[in-house]
Structure 1
């Protein structure tokens, strides 16, 4: 299936990140390989209720939702997304089509609400954080994980900085993303009165053939046509970045994965 994108209509579902893109599932799998180990470590630290009700909000390709159903076999795991095409074949979960920006759940519906690589792309991110807390029962956990591209803006290599800034600008223009917001997550949860707060960060690099490198490359390749159409980069920039990544002498910090969690009291 090919992507039809109206670049004059902002929003995730009409952007280069949309699920109808031919390469989107493969790109999401690269994100999962980066983030799943960190997410699993976070859940292993949490003490959950017996038979917990878990919401995986904006579940993407569903690897974490599937893992949660196995990690907590007595749990009810609900996986949602605005486009659920990649969630339909995962055993042990309930799948709901849900727009996190506008759709609610009843108060005190869940023991865990989790969202990963979602809120940075939503203009309503602050409101969603507040609403998600109301969906939790007393003692329930809010677990928010997201991506910051701050490290790429201070990279030594000027071409990498240029490509990274172009990607950030494209996300701002076409999706409304804030790719620096994730660094504020611990403070956001603290400000909302959650208890037993915790957070972890993991640096992702490019040029080292790591999962983060593969994720960065897949996302940049998928963004290429939109970057060129908007004049944010030239083809020479993209070709030069491909050569730079392949240079054995090059590696640089590209992103930070941030996980933050807290408990409703």
Structure 2
């Protein structure tokens, strides 16, 4: 999960430093829990879009590289350039056709070439300059190629029943916004942003995986709260006891809540593919 330095974060922090530090024990495992929850739906969408042999792919914010490797192993694409600000997890399992690039996608000189598939998941929600980055990523799509973006959609609004889970999630979103600028409120505008970047046609879908005690998704959220606990406390919406209660709730039969959804939007660059 890529994130980059940005001046727009209210707290002046950044993903990977203020929270979710890659050197912190268990961070790679936390990312992998998220991958176990979302990779199948991501790969199903990419296959439905025709991603396959001959495709050159760019995977932005590649994290531990699960999508990059599955593109090579299952979709049989020609190559994948996996990009992240910190590539330590990506280099743990070298694979033929997988190239690594340690880079900041918000940097003005980020220009890795053009690709038939440009993919980014759970990246732009952490970047205050997301509109500019969407436009930049669209420029990296070759004619006949597709840009595929996925990010979280919060389903714990004011009308959601108050449970330990919903209270913790509200505190997490607010705490991350205060510290590193994370903002998921704009994610439903993806289709319009893609269209505004010159891509056509565009479409989108939302997937909401179930919260099941002991599941990878439940473990992902528990680990995420542990790593963002200080930011959550800082909101005044929850204290340590509240975070602990939410973690216990996730692992109990009392759990009756909706996880964050994953909105995936895609848009095509007009023209014939190479």
**How many Å apart are 1:235 and its aligned residue?**
1.8
Q: Contact 1:207–1:252 (CA<8 Å) still a contact in 2?
A: no
- Name 2:27's counterpart in structure 1: 24
Structure whose residues are more often strand by fraction: 1
**Residue 191 of structure 2 corresponds to residue 172 of structure 1:** no
Q: CA 1:152–1:263 in structure 2 vs 1: closer, same or farther (change >3 Å)?
A: same
Cα distance in 2 between the residues matched to 1:159 and 1:47: 41
**Residue 166 of structure 2 corresponds to residue 161 of structure 1:** yes
**How many Å apart are 1:230 and its aligned residue?**
6.3
Which of residues 51, 63, 67 in structure 1 aligns to 2:70? Answer: 67
**Once the two structures are superposed, what CA deviation does each residue of 1:21-69 show, in whole Å capped at 9, x if it has no partner?**
2121011001101110111011111235862210001101100001111
**How many Å apart are 1:240 and its aligned residue?**
2.0
**How many Å apart are 1:179 and its aligned residue?**
2.3
Which of residues 206, 214, 228 in structure 1 aligns to 2:211? Answer: 206
**Residue 188 of structure 2 corresponds to residue 183 of structure 1:** yes
**How many Å apart are 1:100 and its aligned residue?**
1.0
Q: CA 1:127–1:164 in structure 2 vs 1: closer, same or farther (change >3 Å)?
A: same
Q: CA 1:16–1:154 in structure 2 vs 1: closer, same or farther (change >3 Å)?
A: farther
What TM-score does the superposition give when structure 1 sets the normalisation length? 0.88
Q: CA 1:163–1:138 in structure 2 vs 1: closer, same or farther (change >3 Å)?
A: same
Cα distance in 2 between the residues matched to 1:210 and 1:183: 27
Q: Contact 1:13–1:19 (CA<8 Å) still a contact in 2?
A: yes
What TM-score does the superposition give when structure 2 sets the normalisation length? 0.85
- Structure 1 stretch displaced more, 38-47 or 65-74: 65-74
Q: Contact 2:58–2:118 (CA<8 Å) still a contact in 1?
A: yes
- Structure 1 stretch displaced more, 118-127 or 218-227: 218-227
**Once the two structures are superposed, what CA deviation does each residue of 1:145-182 show, in whole Å capped at 9, x if it has no partner?**
11122346542124433222210111101111102332
Structure whose residues are more often helix by fraction: 1
Q: CA 1:203–1:84 in structure 2 vs 1: closer, same or farther (change >3 Å)?
A: same
Alignment of 1:88-237 (within 5 A): 88=91, 89-92=93-96, 93-102=98-107, 103-105=109-111, 109-151=114-156, 154-206=159-211, 208-228=213-233, 231-237=236-242
* Counterpart secondary structure, 1:12: coil
Q: Contact 1:111–1:140 (CA<8 Å) still a contact in 2?
A: yes
- Name 2:247's counterpart in structure 1: 242
**How many Å apart are 1:16 and its aligned residue?**
1.6
Q: CA 1:167–1:255 in structure 2 vs 1: closer, same or farther (change >3 Å)?
A: same
Cα distance in 2 between the residues matched to 1:57 and 1:13: 15
- Structure 1 stretch displaced more, 93-102 or 244-253: 244-253
Cα distance in 2 between the residues matched to 1:169 and 1:23: 24
* RMSD between superposed Cα atoms in Å: 2.3
- Structure 1 stretch displaced more, 225-234 or 159-168: 225-234
